[in-house]
Structure 1
Amino acid sequence: MADADSAPLEPQGDSGASDRVRFATNAAPQGTFDHEKIRHGVRLLLEGIGLDLQEPAIEGTPDRVARMYDEIFAGLLVDSGEVLEVMFEEGHDELILQRDIPLASVCEHHLIPFIGRAHVGYIPNERGAITGLSKLARLVDVTAKRPNVQERITTQIADTMVERLAPRGVIVVIEAEHLCLTMRGVRKPGSMTVTSAVRGIMREDPRSRAEAMALATGRSHAPG
Structure 2
Amino acid sequence: MHSYTEDQIMAAESAISGLLAAFNIDEGDHTDNTPHRVAKAWADVLGGYTENPADHLATTFTAPQNPGLVVVRNIRMQSTCAHHLLPITGTATVAYRPRPGERVVGLSKINRLVDGYARRLQVQENITAQVVDAIADRLNPLWVACAITADYGCMTLRGVRDECSDTMTFNEWGVRDSADVDAFWAAHVGGGRRGYVTPRPARRHDRGRRAAGNRRDAPPTPIGRVL
TM-score norm. by structure 2 comes to 0.78
Matched, 1:90 2:63: yes
Q: Which has the higher contact order (CA 8 A, sep 6+)?
A: 2
Q: Residue 58 of structure 1 corresponds to which residue in structure 2?
A: 31
Q: Distance in 2 between matches of 1:144 and 1:166?
A: 22
Q: Distance in 1 between matches of 2:3 and 2:16?
A: 24
The answer on whether the counterparts of 1:90 and 1:130 sit within 8 Å (CA) in structure 2 is yes
Q: Residue 147 of structure 2 corresponds to which residue in structure 1?
A: 173
Q: Which amino acid aligns with 2:189?
A: T
Q: Distance in 1 between matches of 2:69 and 2:179?
A: 13
Q: Residue 216 of structure 1 corresponds to which residue in structure 2?
A: 188
Matched, 1:123 2:93: no
Matched, 1:183 2:157: yes
**CA deviation profile, 1:37-85 (whole Å, cap 9, x unmatched):** 21111111111111127x2111211111111122111100111011111
Q: Which amino acid aligns with 1:136?
A: I
The answer on whether the counterparts of 1:97 and 1:216 sit within 8 Å (CA) in structure 2 is no
Q: Distance in 2 between matches of 1:29 and 1:117?
A: 26
**Aligned-partner SS, 1:171:** strand
Q: In the TM superposition, what is the alpha-carbon distance from 1:200 to its structure 2 partner?
A: 0.3
Q: Residue 22 of structure 1 corresponds to which residue in structure 2?
A: none
The answer on whether the counterparts of 2:9 and 2:43 sit within 8 Å (CA) in structure 1 is no
Q: Residue 41 of structure 1 corresponds to which residue in structure 2?
A: 15
The answer on whether the counterparts of 1:158 and 1:197 sit within 8 Å (CA) in structure 2 is yes
Q: Distance in 1 between matches of 2:4 and 2:55?
A: 16
Q: In the TM superposition, what is the alpha-carbon distance from 1:30 to its structure 2 partner?
A: 6.7
**Aligned-partner SS, 1:94:** coil
Q: Residue 224 of structure 2 corresponds to which residue in structure 1?
A: none
State the identity %.
33
The answer on whether the counterparts of 2:3 and 2:47 sit within 8 Å (CA) in structure 1 is no
Q: Distance in 1 between matches of 2:110 and 2:164?
A: 26
Matched, 1:149 2:103: no
Which consecutive residues of structure 1, in runs of 5 or more, have no partner in the other structure?
1-27
Q: Identify which of 139, 150, 166 aligns with 2:113.
A: 139
**CA deviation profile, 1:128-165 (whole Å, cap 9, x unmatched):** 32112111111111111111111111111111111111
The number of equivalent residue pairs is 190
Task: Judge which range, 209-218 or 159-168, deviates more.
Answer: 209-218
Which consecutive residues of structure 2, in runs of 5 or more, have no partner in the other structure?
191-218, 221-227
Q: Identify which of 54, 57, 81 aligns with 1:81.
A: 54
The answer on whether the counterparts of 1:119 and 1:217 sit within 8 Å (CA) in structure 2 is no
Q: Identify which of 166, 175, 191 aligns with 1:201.
A: 175
**Aligned-partner SS, 1:177:** strand
Q: Residue 71 of structure 1 corresponds to which residue in structure 2?
A: 44
